[in-house]
Structure 1
Amino acid sequence: MLDVTVIEDPEAAAVSLDPVRARLLAELAGAPASAAMLAGRVGLPRQKVNYHLKALERHGLVELAGERRKGNVTERLMRATAASYVISPAALPAVQPDPDRFRDQFSARWLLALGARLVRDVGMLISGAATARKRLATYALDGEVRFASAADRAAFVQELTAGVSALIRKYDAPDEDGGRDHRIVVAVHPTVKDESRSPVEDQPTLGS
Structure 2
Amino acid sequence: MRITVGSLKGGVAKTTTSVHLALALAQSGRTLLVDADPEQASAFRWSERVGEHWPEGCVVAPLASRDLARRVVQMAVDYEHVVIDTGPKNPAMLRSAMTVSDLLLVPCAPRPLDLEELPATFELAAEVDVTHPLHAAVLLVMVRGGTRAAAEARAMVTEDLGLPLLDTVTHLRESYSLAYGTVPDPAEYAAVLAELSQTDTPSSAPSPTTGAAEKGTS
Instruction: Place the TM-score, normalised by the shorter chain, in its bin.
Output: under 0.3
Whichever structure has more strand as a proportion of its residues is: 2
**Bigger CA radius of gyration:** 1
Considering fraction of residues, name the structure with more helix: 1
Which has the bigger relative contact order, CA under 8 A and spacing at least 6? 2
